[in-house]
Chain A
Amino acid sequence: MAAVATCGSGAGTTGSAVATASKSNVTSFQRRGPRASGTNDSGPRLVSIAGTRPSVRNGQLLVSTGLPALDQLLGGGLAIGTVLLIEEDKYNIYSPLLFKCFLAEGIVNGHTLLVASATEDPANILQELPAPLLDDNSKKEFDEDVYNHKTPESNIKMKIAWRYQLLPKMEQIGPVSSRFGHYYDASKRIPQELIEASNWHGFFLPEKISSTLKVEPCSLTPGYIKLLQFIQNIIYEEGFDGSNPQKKQRNVLRIGIQNLGSPLWGDDICCAENGSNSHSLTKFLYVLRGLLRTSLSACIITMPTHLIQNKTIIARVTNLSDTVIGLESFIGSERETNPLYKDYHGLIHIRQIPRLNNLICDESDVKDLAFKLKRKLFTIEWVQDNYLRQERNIYPPGFSYLLKQKDSAWGEGSLQHSTFLMSFLAKATAFASRLVRHSEPLKQTGSGRIHQAAGPRLWHDGRRQEAPGLLGIPP
């Protein structure tokens, strides 16, 4: 059956779930121990790489995205072998910052970088990376928090809100730091010596496209073909997939691709609804994911999805990516002047989290997240506010209709709205709880009778108890 099973032998050990000690495994999905529940080393161990840690849920190897708050939301970090797609905000102000934090995290951890862009020279991108916030103080309990995933739900919310304020405490060893996840100062540049000490490769499309490389005709855009070949070359040459006998690599490759899908890449999905090459991008993503799955690498892609005309392509791109987050900035929208949002710069949507080696995924319960870029730090917080709730449509259908009317008397902030909301929510919770019954006031009688206040009351015989009054039914 060897001929038929095309993926059988290949790069050797893609099949085995547990890392064998002798040969370095090429699978990116490796388990640290026989079962993910404990971190015992009863089985063969994976040599730990700086800047990575195994996921508690499924033993998946994770790297930090450069934003500890985002790591939390993604279930601990970005899994090696996967793609993180960032849907750019409208004016491309905040997505480059996430992109740069990811790369800066790679430099601080000593990972190899591969930066691809059609707009900017990768050397310039690296010059503009934010400076890491490094502290000489001894470890604090923050470290334990970072490694402790079993926090209950309420703690996670608190963590997002205030924990990030703490700066990481770490020792200066190894590359620059072996800690998982750092904070970055967006107002300062990364020290030049860190860039020079790092190992990085740049792919600047205008330079590469002019070279006459023999390329077979295929429905991918030439820029994408070149990029895939470049990535595959680096992975093979530097031994990230274990297939090169000369190279024994125990490091992670971080790939960053900027503005993928924009016209500068030669793709027309942002210009035309039914372009000639509508499958180019999706094919690229598929082959890229194939490369990632068989190597020790993680990739971040920013894409101007707000420019893509054809919604089908966005849906397919989302399906073909592993983790997808979207940034929505408030600039130019009506929310900019909304007092509720005065502290924030935009919303961050977690659109998709992958299920890796598992039937379930680490979906966070917190859905309303906003970000802000203060003078130094990019932070993400949980926002509870009525606007988001309204847009998520958790109101009963009839009420939503009333709200949507222009100048409706039921608008936000009106007395009718608040009263309705309170009684709706009260009834909803009362329905759900079987043990406690609230005695609801009777219908308005018009006689001015004082009703009994609603309060917890046990039903004795299934009927409401109430004080006898003028409306006591005559026997």
Chain B
Amino acid sequence: SRPSLSLTEIEGKLTLLCDAKTDGSFLVHHFLSFYLKANCKVCFVALFQSFSHYNIVGQKLGVNLTVARERGQLVFLEGLKSAVDVFFQTQEEPHPLQFLREANAGNLKPLFEFVREALKPVDSGEARWTYPVLLVDDLSVLLSLGMGAVAVLDFIHYCRATVCWELKGNMVILVHDSGDVEDEENDILLNGVSHQSHLILRAEGLATGFCRDVHGQLRILWRRPSQPTAQRDQSLTYQYKIQDKSVSFFAKGMSPAVL
């Protein structure tokens, strides 16, 4: 069974999702449905796939993104569609993906403003949502779009200051691990975010290659970034198999296919 992440433990925490030689997007879908079910206010910067993709998978996991968006619980930035808008039409107001029009790599300030605006507490009297969450899928796309690693790290830093410290919310970020392809910018980004994370979930493909029954391995690492390293970081490893509506986890070598 999967280790549960209770809300009180991880308030104001940054969780890093990382995938190496495999697709870790199932973790993104899990966290999205998890936080929506927990009645959190979620800002989802979805750069990788379209809204309907996340919506359809979300429905399999038990959440309806359309309804959540209409209720105001979910603020969704659809990267692919917004990129087309920014690219082909001049925008009057600064657009979160404004950097796509610029000749030189700028900074991600408009994107940060978007996030801050989305998650700022609304003074409506009663508190509707438990706490805010920023979800990003995925950060490596920003590098492909011309942003430098330092600019992206700055963006994460600003978001952390606002979302984790000021608003006591959580952040969940997906970064690809390029592995033996020497993507220096990506390595800088990955190392930088790892150092700031409280929890790292790393999905790896099996070293022996493709397997139909075990899709990969998940390493879970708990960290205490703010404290000096007196305590040893805890880590656990599970193997998993992704199914149509869920993911099943088991200890290494204990796949039902082998037993």
Question: Footprint of B on A, CB under 8 Å?
Answer: 1, 4-8, 10-11, 14-17, 27, 29, 31, 58, 81, 216-219, 228-229, 232, 279, 282-283, 286-287, 289-291, 293-294, 311-312, 314-316, 319-320, 355-361, 363, 365, 367, 392-394, 432
Contacts and interface: CB of A to CB of B under 8 A. Distances in A.
Nearest to A6: B82
A86 to B, nearest CB: 20
A283 B145 contact: yes
A279 B83 contact: no
A293 B87 contact: no
Contacts of A394: 208-209
Contact of B178 (A31, A312, A432): A312
Interface in B94-135: 95-96, 100-105, 114, 117-118
Nearest to B56: A357
Contact of B83 (A286, A311, A363, A392): A286
A6 B95 contact: yes
B50 to A, nearest CB: 5
Closest 4 CB pairs of A and B: A7-B78, A290-B80, A279-B146, A282-B144
Contacts of A16: 52, 66
A358 B244 contact: yes
Nearest to B29: A359
Given A16-B66, A228-B87, A219 B57 contact: no
Contact of A232 (B29, B88, B178): B88
Interface in B1-40: 23, 25-26, 29
B108 to A, nearest CB: 15
A11 B95 CA distance: 17
Contacts of B140: 316, 319
Contacts of B210: 363, 367
B81 interface: yes
A282 B65 CA distance: 29
B145 A7 contact: no
A7 B81 contact: yes
B85 A358 contact: no
B75 interface: yes
B87 A282 contact: no
A1 B243 CA distance: 35
A359 B243 contact: yes
B101 A216 contact: yes
Given A290-B84, A315-B181, 14 more contacts: A5-B69, A10-B81, A17-B66, A29-B50, A29-B52, A81-B50, A218-B103, A219-B105, A290-B80, A315-B178, A316-B183, A359-B242, A363-B210, A393-B209
B53 A279 contact: no
> Which of A7, A311, A314, A361 gathers the greatest number of chain B CB atoms within 10 Å?
A7
A357 B60 CA distance: 10
Nearest to A59: B56
Interface in B39-78: 50-53, 55-57, 59-60, 65-66, 69, 72, 75-78
B153 interface: no
B102 A15 contact: no
B232 interface: no
16 contacts: A1-B72, A6-B114, A8-B76, A17-B52, A17-B66, A27-B50, A218-B102, A287-B83, A290-B82, A293-B81, A311-B182, A312-B186, A316-B144, A355-B23, A359-B245, A365-B212
Contacts of A290: 79-84, 87
A29 B53 contact: yes
A358 B52 CA distance: 11
B254 to A, nearest CB: 14
Nearest to B80: A290
B220 interface: no
B176 interface: yes
B258 interface: yes
Given A4-B117, A7-B81, A219-B102, A359 B247 contact: yes
Contact of B144 (A14, A320, A359): A320
Nearest to A57: B244
> Which of A16, A357, A365 gathers the greatest number of chain B CB atoms within 10 Å?
A357
A293 B54 CA distance: 13
Nearest to B46: A7
